[in-house]
Structure 1
Amino acid sequence: MNPRELLQALTIAERLKDTTRHCYTSKGRHESVAEHSWQMTLMAFFMKNEFPEADINKVIQMCIIHDLGECFTGDIPTFLKTKEHEVSEENLLNDWVESLPKTTRDEMLSLYKEMKERKTLEAKIYKAIDSLEAVIQHNFSDISTWSENEFDLNLTYANDRVTFSEYMCALREEIRKDTIEKISKGEEELKNKDKESI
Structure 2
Amino acid sequence: METLSIAENLKNTTRHCYTSKGRHESVAEHSWMMSLMAFFMQDEFPEADINKVIKMCIIHDLGECLTGDIPVFDKNATHEEKEEELLYHWISSLPSTYAGEMRELYEEMKERKTIEAKVYKAIDGLEALIQHNLSDLSTWTPNEYDFNLVYADDKVTFSHYLTSLREEIRKDTLKKMEQ
- Whether these two folds match at TM > 0.5 is yes
Tell me the SS of whatever aligns to 2:16: strand
Query: Quick one: distance in 1 between partners of 2:117 and 2:109?
Result: 5
| Poorly superposed stretches of 4+, deviation over 2 Å | none
Normalising by structure 2, report the TM-score.
Answer: 0.99
Give CA-to-partner distance per residue, 1:139-182, whole Å, 9 cap, x none: 00000000001000001000000000000000000000000000
1:84 is the counterpart of 2:78: yes
Query: Quick one: distance in 2 between partners of 1:36 and 1:28?
Result: 15
Corresponding position of 1:188: none
Corresponding position of 2:56: 62
1:19 is the counterpart of 2:13: yes
How large is the Cα RMSD of the aligned pairs?
0.4
Q: What is the correspondence of 1:28-177 to structure 2 with a 5 Å cutoff? A: 28-177=22-171
Query: Quick one: distance in 2 between partners of 1:72 and 1:9?
Result: 12
5+ residue gaps, structure 2: none
5+ residue gaps, structure 1: 1-6, 186-198
Q: Percent same amino acid at aligned positions?
A: 70
How far is the alpha carbon of 1:8 from its aligned partner? 1.6
Query: Quick one: distance in 2 between partners of 1:61 and 1:156?
Result: 27
Query: Quick one: distance in 2 between partners of 1:143 and 1:14?
Result: 29
Query: Quick one: distance in 1 between partners of 2:2 and 2:97?
Result: 16
Tell me the SS of whatever aligns to 2:162: helix
Q: Please identify the structure whose Cα radius of gyration is greater.
A: 1
How far is the alpha carbon of 1:51 from its aligned partner? 0.4
Query: Quick one: distance in 2 between partners of 1:115 and 1:142?
Result: 31
Query: Quick one: distance in 2 between partners of 1:9 and 1:131?
Result: 27
How far is the alpha carbon of 1:113 from its aligned partner? 0.3
Corresponding position of 1:8: 2
Give CA-to-partner distance per residue, 1:57-113, whole Å, 9 cap, x none: 000000000000001100000010010000000000000001100000000000000
Query: Quick one: distance in 2 between partners of 1:74 and 1:8?
Result: 18
Give the letter aligned to residue 106 of structure 1.
G
Give the letter aligned to residue 38 of structure 1.
W
How far is the alpha carbon of 1:46 from its aligned partner? 0.5
